[in-house]
Chain A
Amino acid sequence: MTQRDFLAQIEELVEAPPGSLKGPEPLSGLERWDSLAVVGFIAMVDEKLELTLSAQKIAAAKTVNELVALVGGRLSLDAA
C-alpha cells in the first residue's frame, strides 16, 4: 500500500472527495473523523497492513500526517 492509497482509505472513512487529503489537515477539522471512523481506521490498518495500532496513539494524532506516521514504515513508495 502506498501513501496515496493510505490517504484514499482515510478519505473513504471520512467521506472526503478522492484526492482531497494531502496530509497537513487537522483531524479536528474533519467532521466525519468520529468514533466510528476511528474504529474503521483501526480495522483498515489491521486488515491491509496487518498492524494493530494503539488506540491511545490514534487519539493523540492531531493531523492526517500524524496518522500516516503511525504506519509509516509499512507503506511503500508512491509511484513517481
Chain B
Amino acid sequence: MAVSKVSGVRLAGIASAVPDHKHHFSELAGTFGSEEVKKISDSTGVVERYLVPPGMCTSDLAYAAAEKLLAELGWERSTVDAVILVSQTLDYVLPATACTLQHRLGLSKGCAAFDVGLGCSGYVYGLWLASTLVAGGGLRRVLLLAGDCSSTTASPEDRSVAMLFGDAATATALERGDGPPMTFVLGTDGGGRDHLIIPASACRVPRTAETATRTAREGGNLRSDQELYMNGAEIFTFTLREVPPLMKAVLAESGTTVESTDAFVFHQANKFMLDHLAKRMKLPVEKVPVVLARYGNTSSASIPLAMTDALGPRLSAQRQRLLLAGFGVGYSWGAVALECGPMAMPEVVRVPDEAILEGWEAPAS
C-alpha cells in the first residue's frame, strides 16, 4: 500500500467550470423510453448535466477554471512553477495538452507541464503529485487542472453510459504553507482493465472503420470499440472490495476518525453506489455530499466540483477536515485526509461557446 504524508503545502483555492449547455435526462426518452430513462435516473441519481457542444474540449474548460482561480487569487503568472492536467479526454495526446495550457494561460517558460492519464482516482493522484512537487521539489506554486469531456466517449445508444456522464474541468492552486500533513493512500489493480475501457483508444487496438462501427452488445446496447465500455456489476464489486479498506487505512494513517472528519467527498460515480458505500461504512449522510443530480459523473473533475458546489461557502469561510476518495478506471484508487480552508472558492463557471479555442489547421504546403 502506497502511503505518503506530505507537509508544508496549502490549498489556496479551487475553481470549477462546466460548458454552458444544460441537459435533462428526459431528452433520451426518445431512444430508451420514458419509463426506462426515469428508472436509470433514479438509480444513478443523474437528473441534469452540462455537455460540451461540438468543438469544445477539456482544455477550454480547464482554461476557464484556471483563469477564474488566478483572478480570485491575484497570483502573478510567473510564480506558477508547474501546471498538471489530469484527464483521459485530452485535446491532444501529442503534444501534452498541459503544454498547450501553459501557452494559453501565459505562464512562464520556466514552468513544468505534463498530463496525467487517470480518471476517477485522478484528482487524488493529482493532489499527491502537485503537493509533493511543492513539499519535496522546491516549487513555489502549482496549478492542478483536472477534468474530462466523458460525454464524447459514451455511445448515445448504450443505456449503461448514455445518461451518466457530464463534462467539467477544475483548477486547484497549491503553494507552500503551514498546517498538518496531507495523508495519501494509493493503490492499483490492473486486473480490472477490461471492465472500464475504451478498447480502441491508442496503440494496442488500432482504430479502423470496423472499430468505429457500432454493433449490438449486451442488453441490446449499441456501442463501438472506440466508445466507453463499463461493466457495472464488476465495478460495483471492485468498489465494495477496495474502498472500505482504503477508507480504514487513510483514517488510521492520518490519525483521524469519522467523527473528526467534516466531510467525505467521494468521486461522484453514481448515487446508488455512493449511498450504499456511505451506509456500509457508517458515514453520516450529511457528511457525504452527492452532486450527481446537477452534474452527472464528471470523472476526474467530480471531487473538486463537489467541493465547489456543496462545500464552497463553508470552505471559503472556515477550516475543514476532509477525506477525499477517488476509485475506478484502472482499476486505480486513492484517498487523502487533509485540512483546508479558508480558501478561494468561486462559484461554478459556465463556459460559453466563444471560449472554444480555434482548431488546428494544416500548414500551407
Which residues from chain A sit less than 8 Å from chain B, CB to CB? 34-36, 38-40, 42-43, 46-47, 52-56, 58-59
Contact = CB atoms under 8 A, between A and B. Distances in A.
Given A35-B160, A36-B43, A42 B240 contact: yes
A46 B160 contact: no
B276 interface: yes
Given A39-B232, A39-B272, A53 B40 contact: no
Contacts of A39: 43, 232-233, 236, 272-273
Contact of A59 (B233, B273, B276, B280): B233
A23 B234 CA distance: 25
B279 A42 contact: no
A36 B43 CA distance: 8
Given A46-B276, A47-B280, A35 B232 contact: yes
B39 A52 contact: no
A47 B237 contact: no
A52 B241 contact: yes
Contacts of A54: 237
Contact of A35 (B219, B237, B240): B219
B231 interface: yes
Which of under 10, 10 to 19, 20 to 34, or 35 or more describes the interface residues of B?
10 to 19
A59 B195 CA distance: 14
A43 B233 CA distance: 10
B236 A42 contact: yes
Contacts of B160: 35
14 contacts: A35-B219, A36-B40, A38-B232, A39-B43, A42-B236, A42-B237, A42-B240, A46-B240, A47-B279, A52-B240, A55-B236, A55-B237, A56-B234, A58-B233
Given A39-B273, A42-B233, A56-B234, 4 more contacts: A35-B160, A38-B232, A39-B43, A47-B280
Contacts of A52: 237, 240-241
A24 B149 CA distance: 45
Contacts of B236: 39, 42-43, 55
A8 to B, nearest CB: 20
A47 B273 CA distance: 12
A50 B218 CA distance: 29
Nearest to A58: B233
Interface in B351-365: none
Nearest to A44: B276
A71 B281 CA distance: 22
Contacts of A42: 233, 236-237, 240
Contacts of B276: 43, 46-47
A19 to B, nearest CB: 24
Report the 5 A-B pairs with minimum CB-CB distance, sorted nearest first.
A55-B233, A55-B234, A52-B240, A38-B233, A43-B276
Nearest to A54: B237
Contacts of B40: 36
A36 B231 CA distance: 11
B79 to A, nearest CB: 47
A41 to B, nearest CB: 9
